[in-house]
Structure 1
């Protein structure tokens, strides 16, 4: 069952989506499982807050755009109407990979927007 209702905002480095009939715990489990399949690690998990990381930062610094590194934070806020707002923030700019690295991070954020729209 798809819980996605609509995209509230998509700006440079931020995705904000609205979901219905899902709790913070259920969404956390879905995100963790889904992004584990995508190669992401959940490096910090608190109630309603996740940090997702893929790749190695040190390799990115040494090899630039030839190494993969993405870091995003996810925050979840529920309201009284049984709706859940999920915000995805870009935590790494890709600057260590130069212009190509910055483009890679923007492309990954667009891909994540599609994935979050199908939850």
Structure 2
């Protein structure tokens, strides 16, 4: 079942979506399953807060844009009994990969917007 209702806001480094008929633990499980299959390491910091990380930061610093590194944080807030707001924040700028690295981050954020819209 698709829980996505609408995109509330999309600006540089932020995606905010509204979902219906899903709880924070259920959404956490869905995000973890989907992103671990895509090679992300999902770190559950606290209830409703996740860190999504893919790649190696040290290698990215050494080799630049040749190595992909992405880091995003996800926060979830229960609005009403049936609504959930999910915010995805960009945590790495891509500067260590130069202009190519910054473009990689923008492209990945666009892809994440599509992935989160299909939950």
- Give the distance between the partners of 1:52 and 1:45, measured in 2 at CA: 11
1:79 Cα deviation (Å)?
1.5
Answer with 79-88 or 47-56: which moved more.
79-88
CA RMSD between the two structures: 0.7
The count of corresponding residues between Structure 1 and Structure 2 is 119
- Give the distance between the partners of 2:14 and 2:36, measured in 1 at CA: 21
Report SS of the residue matched to 1:39: coil
1:80 Cα deviation (Å)?
1.8
- Give the distance between the partners of 1:12 and 1:84, measured in 2 at CA: 22
**Aligned residue in 1 for 2:9:** 9
**Aligned residue in 1 for 2:115:** 115
TM-score of the aligned structures, taking structure 2 as reference length: 0.98
| Residue-by-residue CA offset, 1:22-68 (whole Å, 9 max, x unaligned) | 00000000000000001000134310000010000001000000001
1:81 Cα deviation (Å)?
4.2
Segments of structure 1 that go 5 or more residues without pairing to the other structure are none
Report SS of the residue matched to 1:10: strand
Segments of structure 2 that go 5 or more residues without pairing to the other structure are none
- Give the distance between the partners of 1:74 and 1:84, measured in 2 at CA: 12
TM-score of the aligned structures, taking structure 1 as reference length: 0.98
- The structure 1 segments of at least 4 consecutive aligned residues displaced by more than 4 Å after TM superposition are none
- Give the distance between the partners of 2:65 and 2:37, measured in 1 at CA: 23
